[in-house]
Structure 1
Amino acid sequence: MDGRFPALPIMSFFAVASSFSLSVFFPSFLFAHPLLYEPPDVDRPEYTLSLFPISQKLDLSVNMTTDHDANGAPAARVKSSASTIGDHAYPHGHLGHLNPGQEEAFVQFKNVLEERGLLKRGPPASHDDPLLLRYLRARRWVVEDAYQQFKDTEEWRKANDLDVLYNTIDLDAYEQSRRLYPQWTGRRDRRGIPVYVFEVKTLDNKTVHEYEKVGASTTFSQAKADGKTPSGLLRLFALYENLTRFNMPFCTQLHDREHPEVPITLSTNIVDISGVGLKQFWNLKQHMQAASQLATAHYPETLDRIFIIGAPVFFSTVWGWIKRWFDPITVSKIFILGHHEVKTVLEQFIEPRNIPKKYGGELDYTFGQLSIPDPHWDGIVKWENGHKGFPSGPLLWEDIEGDRLACVARGYKGGQPRNERICTIPKTFAPVEAKTNGVNGVSTGTVAHDHDVAEGTQTTRVETHDDGVQTDDALMNDVQEKLKIQDDKPAAAAAAQQTTTA
């Protein structure tokens, strides 16, 4: 065995395949390290697959699809627990649904952040509770690890002026990014989590090259940069900001969903890779790896389910092997659907009216268009200034009149700032008091802001594990440690070392 995966550039691609959310999970696929596969012969349709041994990993056999009847009738609705395992079903680990160990870790995490100058309790708090819990879930409730990731993210945000970037980005630059990457359909799944769609074929090598070239040669915002993060990727992260600062807060306020008491911090993703050849996957490898590494580090735990549609025939074979490297909860989030399964499976998790027609649903949505307002918003969303839907570009929510929120459009057009009210909605979400060993930590519902990162003193490392179950982000670290891949070693040597250390 030579330890190389010619087919796995596909896996690298999924790191950004769902943009905002796959940044959390599919970077795990990045341990299809460039040293573990070789450039394919792109002119030949066949492929080869050789695996190096992975020991001490669970042999997972989670069914990713469910049976459907011979008449193709819509599958019965299933509760959200269908996507997770046992006691770790959604909303386990989210605000208001913490076990005693998680509650203790949450209190300690907030205390550590406050002591080291990274959190201001407020009111208003500098960072809300749902955001803080994302870091704890990502780091398996190990307080010191969550602190380090949070600190790194705050420093990265400050160095790249993420707040300024989002508020001042040129609208044409934003729209160029939006059209290339996953897009919100305007609809949600049965739990109220926003549904994103991505047609991979639009992101070819020529398009990405032009995108990065334009980003490097033009000034698209008033933000400073650290000189390390490629400007093209900084434009991409304006879309992540839109997810966390506009879409998630909006979906949180909509109560026609399961567990309306839980703030929305996830996304559901339909990734269509039909019509995409291995050459395209390979050409995008470097771009996707760079984007996914940054997204994993700085936008943790924003992924829930991903539905992969249009995969080549060999994909299920590859997935059948690599899924053994992930824990059952991770595997249960991924659905690789054959053509005959798409409609049936999607309808289990998303109402037919919210599934694009292309995938067997009723929504007249085409990839590239703006989000389509949901009729269920009628009477809730009050449009202003002639708007009948959400426009492209940065959007933020601001408190007005005490009991309402206003959606405000930002960004620059023709060198002039945009500051226009799009709509208002009632403030219906009542922040949950997270009872943590007798100490109440109130979720303020505010948006996280950058602030100075103070040098903190050393504190005792607190390790509060969640029953040993790995989260998506934490798994990546385990795999890299297991493989012990070093960039200065050839593939065969890396594989040999893995064999001896596994």
Structure 2
Amino acid sequence: MAPPTSTASTAGPATRTVSKSSIKSTGNVKGALDYGYPHGHLGHLTPEEEATFAAFKTDLASAGLYKPGPPASHPDTVLLRFLRARRWVIADARAQFKDTEEWRQNIQLDVLYDSIDVEAYEQSRRLYPQWTGRRDKRGIPVYLFEIRHLDPKTVTAYEKAASSTFSRAVPNAKTGTKLVRLFALYENLTRFAQPLCTQLTDREHPSTPITLSTNIVDVSGVSLRGYWNLKNHMQAASELATAHYPETLDRIFIIGAPAFFTTVWGWIKRWFDPVTVSKIFVLSHAEVLPTLNSFIHIDDIPKQYGGKLDFNWCQMPNLDPKIRELATWENGYTEFPEGPVYWVPTDDGKRLECLARGSVNKVQRNDKVCSIPVAYPEGPLGHQEDDAAVTAPVLNGNTAAAAAAAAAADDEDEFQDAPEEPIASPPTDDAVAKAVEGLSLQDNKTTVTTAETAVNGNPVGA
């Protein structure tokens, strides 16, 4: 079913509107314009895709994985992501959706996001892609990731800290806890940033919801040995994200690549499916600003990459002026706070309210931050617990919470007593030298195009 046409005003800054013809095709952008948003998204489905989507929902309902409602158990945007990722093959999409639902339940992801310690959440946010507070010209949120902050020493300390109890979610022995905090950040993308950007109508397709992200990945300052040391961590994170958050990525622009990055790229691209690889563009220094500006307005590109946006690593989002125009702040807030936040509809369905969740000093937050008018109503905005669960104080004597804490402590002891997995030896200095030998010293030779990324079979799309 196509989404309802927005009744909100679509007037806005002219610079926000972009069409294929208005994007300049540089060597790295050429070929990227015909793929992805809005094709295959709500409001832009072919008759065949509409029929397949309807059959997919019927199939999920028959399997007990989806309730059409009203209200539906899952929004159309979520279901459609899985179907697009599996190239519209219903059986494959159902299998991936089922695996994801079981994974979410096993790690109690909804409980984790609602009750995670705010400082624990911020420790994760400071190591992974961060929302700049801005959008690209299509209205998709722009994220920045500076890889050099994810050094091996920091990752080791982070993973050790992540093995301890930091929420009401009971750790799952099969999944472990090292990467669980990372997925609270993905929840923030799908339950906060994307729904917020969906309601901003100053874009070319205001009646089509935003379910993607545009990413600037700065790889400057990382040695070849550094990439090798991060290999296991980055591979595990990418595999889980691809499996359980399909079709949340629109583009990755890699900048600051040293000459040896062609060697690193040979490792990295094996961690991703071909569709994801086709969305990754490695830019030379001369290509950075022209390419970014093809997708992102100059005001929304960070200054360090030639734009005008004041945004540095670890800062909270520098909010889009349109957000400030629409938001009605409450309870003393004038910015979105640290920690997990998400949107819930008001009783009359005319506005969305932003709630600050998580815990501070083991006390659950439930602060109303602001509200915005609804331009695109689409039912549930994400996975949510029942009211009794989300309003329970964290570890405050509540019987269920105490039981969960005790189980978590037992699991933590088991984790700490478990033998460490063997770590692959880093390359020797001779191996590093050999890998670098013969590579071009010119950054503009490290361009990756989509020519080598032909899609075979039915890959899982990130």
Category of TM-score, reference length = shorter chain: 0.7 to 0.9
Structure 2 counterparts to residues 25-424 of structure 1, below 5 A: 77-78=22-23, 88-216=35-163, 218-316=164-262, 333-400=279-346, 401-424=348-371
Q: Kindly provide the amino acid, as one letter, of the partner of residue 311 in structure 1.
A: A
Cα distance in 2 between the residues matched to 1:301 and 1:358: 28
Q: How far apart are 1:424 and its partner, in Å?
A: 0.5
3-state SS in 1 of match to 2:105: helix
* Cα 1:85/1:280, change in 2 over 3 Å: closer
Equivalent pair of 2:87/2:459 in contact (CA under 8 Å): no
Equivalent pair of 1:139/1:471 in contact (CA under 8 Å): no
Cα distance in 1 between the residues matched to 2:266 and 2:150: 26
Q: How far apart are 1:331 and its partner, in Å?
A: 5.9
- Residue deviations 1:225-274 (CA, integer Å, cap 9, x gap): 32122312111110011111111111100111121111101000000000
Cα distance in 1 between the residues matched to 2:31 and 2:324: 32
3-state SS in 2 of match to 1:107: helix
Structure 2 counterparts to residues 10-21 of structure 1, below 5 A: none
* Cα 1:136/1:396, change in 2 over 3 Å: same
Equivalent pair of 1:270/1:309 in contact (CA under 8 Å): yes
3-state SS in 2 of match to 1:186: strand
Structure 2 counterpart of 1:447: 382
Q: Kindly provide the amino acid, as one letter, of the partner of residue 115 in structure 2.
A: T
* Cα 1:112/1:176, change in 2 over 3 Å: same
3-state SS in 2 of match to 1:421: strand
Equivalent pair of 2:255/2:283 in contact (CA under 8 Å): yes
Equivalent pair of 2:37/2:250 in contact (CA under 8 Å): no
Cα distance in 2 between the residues matched to 1:80 and 1:136: 29
1:426 to 365, 373, 381: 373
Equivalent pair of 2:224/2:264 in contact (CA under 8 Å): no
Q: How far apart are 1:86 and its partner, in Å?
A: 7.7
Q: Kindly provide the amino acid, as one letter, of the partner of residue 61 in structure 2.
A: E
Equivalent pair of 1:316/1:336 in contact (CA under 8 Å): no
2:459 to 475, 480, 491: 475
Cα distance in 1 between the residues matched to 2:108 and 2:272: 35
Q: How far apart are 1:339 and its partner, in Å?
A: 1.4
Q: Kindly provide the amino acid, as one letter, of the partner of residue 248 in structure 1.
A: Q
- Residue deviations 1:412-438 (CA, integer Å, cap 9, x gap): 00010011011110011155xxxxxxx
Cα distance in 2 between the residues matched to 1:236 and 1:328: 23
Cα distance in 2 between the residues matched to 1:258 and 1:80: 19
Structure 2 counterpart of 1:27: none
Equivalent pair of 2:343/2:381 in contact (CA under 8 Å): no
Equivalent pair of 1:140/1:471 in contact (CA under 8 Å): no
Give the CA RMSD over aligned residues. 2.9
Cα distance in 2 between the residues matched to 1:326 and 1:208: 21
- Residue deviations 1:88-124 (CA, integer Å, cap 9, x gap): 4521111121122222221111011111111111111
Instruction: Point out where structure 2 has 5 or more consecutive residues left out of the alignment.
Output: 1-20, 387-452
Q: How far apart are 1:448 and its partner, in Å?
A: 3.6
Q: Which has the higher contact order (CA 8 A, sep 6+)?
A: 1
Q: How far apart are 1:80 and its partner, in Å?
A: 11
* Cα 1:80/1:221, change in 2 over 3 Å: farther
| Equivalent pairs, count | 372
Cα distance in 2 between the residues matched to 1:101 and 1:275: 48
Q: How far apart are 1:296 and its partner, in Å?
A: 1.2
Q: Kindly provide the amino acid, as one letter, of the partner of residue 340 in structure 1.
A: A
* Cα 1:348/1:472, change in 2 over 3 Å: farther
- Residue deviations 1:404-463 (CA, integer Å, cap 9, x gap): 1110000000010011011110011155xxxxxxxxxxxx35424589xxxxxxxxxxxx
Cα distance in 1 between the residues matched to 2:136 and 2:115: 31
Q: How far apart are 1:172 and its partner, in Å?
A: 0.9
Q: Kindly provide the amino acid, as one letter, of the partner of residue 251 in structure 1.
A: C
Q: Which moved more, 1:406-415 or 1:366-375?
A: 366-375
Q: Kindly provide the amino acid, as one letter, of the partner of residue 88 in structure 2.
A: W
Equivalent pair of 1:396/1:407 in contact (CA under 8 Å): yes
3-state SS in 2 of match to 1:406: strand
Percent of pairs with identical residues: 59
- Residue deviations 1:12-58 (CA, integer Å, cap 9, x gap): xxxxxxxxxxxxxxxxxxxxxxxxxxxxxxxxxxxxxxxxxxxxxxx
**TM-score for both structures, normalised by structure 1:** 0.69
Cα distance in 1 between the residues matched to 2:199 and 2:89: 30
Q: Kindly provide the amino acid, as one letter, of the partner of residue 150 in structure 1.
A: F
* Cα 1:120/1:321, change in 2 over 3 Å: closer
3-state SS in 2 of match to 1:145: helix
Cα distance in 2 between the residues matched to 1:476 and 1:348: 27
Cα distance in 1 between the residues matched to 2:269 and 2:212: 22
3-state SS in 1 of match to 2:459: helix
Equivalent pair of 2:275/2:460 in contact (CA under 8 Å): no
Cα distance in 1 between the residues matched to 2:46 and 2:190: 25
Q: Kindly provide the amino acid, as one letter, of the partner of residue 124 in structure 1.
A: P
Cα distance in 2 between the residues matched to 1:299 and 1:470: 22
Equivalent pair of 1:398/1:405 in contact (CA under 8 Å): yes
Equivalent pair of 1:125/1:446 in contact (CA under 8 Å): no
Equivalent pair of 1:83/1:305 in contact (CA under 8 Å): no
Tell me which stretches of 4 or more aligned residues in structure 1 moved more than 4 Å.
79-89, 316-332, 469-473
Cα distance in 2 between the residues matched to 1:83 and 1:167: 42
**TM-score for both structures, normalised by structure 2:** 0.75
Equivalent pair of 2:195/2:381 in contact (CA under 8 Å): no
Cα distance in 2 between the residues matched to 1:213 and 1:323: 28
